[in-house]
Amino acid sequence: MIVLDGVGMTYRADSGTVEALRDIAFTVDRGELVTLVGPSGCGKSTLLRIIAGLRPASAGRTVVDGRPVTRPIAAVGMVFQAPVLLKWRRIVDNVLLPAELAGLNPDDYRARAGELLRLVGLGDFGDKLPRELSGGMQQRAALCRALLLDPPLLLMDEPFGALDAMTRDELNLELLRVWGEGSQRRKTVLFVTHSIAEAVFLADRVVVMTPRPGRVASVVPVRLPRPRTTATRASADFGALTLQIHDVLSRPA
């Protein structure tokens, strides 16, 4: 689904040229959930924007769904660190925004929007304004917005990073449910985080990145059984994987 080959990114700043990404190469298969973990400043978010076609890379090849990325790709759902809901719209109308932006008739998607909101426990909140919801609920609504047009690919940029630990754990489970952990029709997900535990808990594979310039240090397969539960976090395998990634990150470059 996603193929990155030698992707690099340099940009000019006041202090001279800055190399943000160097020689990034990995793939994400269809239906796979890959997490991208690394310290802040390693270019994770930039990489996500390159894949979405929102920013051109300065080197290498980016291919999504068999096509080289040269402009914003349409069949993608995006979730950001902040919910960025439109403050003046009710939750359900926020969820419908992608349909409007894409030039579709939002009325055709009302039923689906309601269904998505019910799925994440916001069934009774469609008529509320964003400010009437907690941060976690707003982020759930943002997830529904990303899923509205049923995109095959989800790009998530530290979506739960600003939430408290309990809400974050809860939303991790919810994401896995929405992703279709038990079903065959899974979406492809690339999920950026700076939490090692979150990266391991969600992933089929974890791409570990090191900073300045951002490089792939290691790709760690996660063979923990699915569906994952709260008990997964307590297993020995989970602990071992977390430690392994921690070691990769603290290794001197």
Give the residues lining the site for other proteins (CB under 8 A).
49, 52-54, 72-74, 76, 78, 80, 82, 84, 86-88, 97-98, 100-103, 129-131
- Are 242 and 196 in contact by the 8 Å Cβ rule? The answer is yes
Instruction: Decide whether 67 or 251 has the Cβ nearer to other proteins.
Output: 67
Q: Shortest gap between Cβ of 2 and other proteins (angstroms)?
A: 15
Q: How far apart are CA 194 and CA 35, in angstroms?
A: 10
Instruction: Decide whether 84 or 162 has the Cβ nearer to other proteins.
Output: 84
- Are 175 and 20 in contact by the 8 Å Cβ rule? The answer is no
Q: Shortest gap between Cβ of 33 and other proteins (angstroms)?
A: 20
Instruction: Decide whether 9 or 176 has the Cβ nearer to other proteins.
Output: 9
Q: How far apart are CA 38 and CA 173, in angstroms?
A: 22
> Measuring CA to CA, how many Å separate 178 from each of 198, 206, 229?
16, 20, 14
**Which token pair is 140?**
């759930």
Q: Shortest gap between Cβ of 106 and other proteins (angstroms)?
A: 11
Whether a cis peptide bond, with omega within 30° of 0, leads into 213 is yes
Q: Shortest gap between Cβ of 242 and other proteins (angstroms)?
A: 30
Q: Shortest gap between Cβ of 94 and other proteins (angstroms)?
A: 11
Q: Which residues of 191-204 are buried (b: 16+ CB within 10 A; e: fewer)?
A: bbbbbbbbbbbbbb
Residue 67 neighbours by CB distance under 10 Å: 10
Instruction: Decide whether 72 or 121 has the Cβ nearer to other proteins.
Output: 72
Instruction: Decide whether 87 or 185 has the Cβ nearer to other proteins.
Output: 87
**Which token pair is 95?**
């969820």
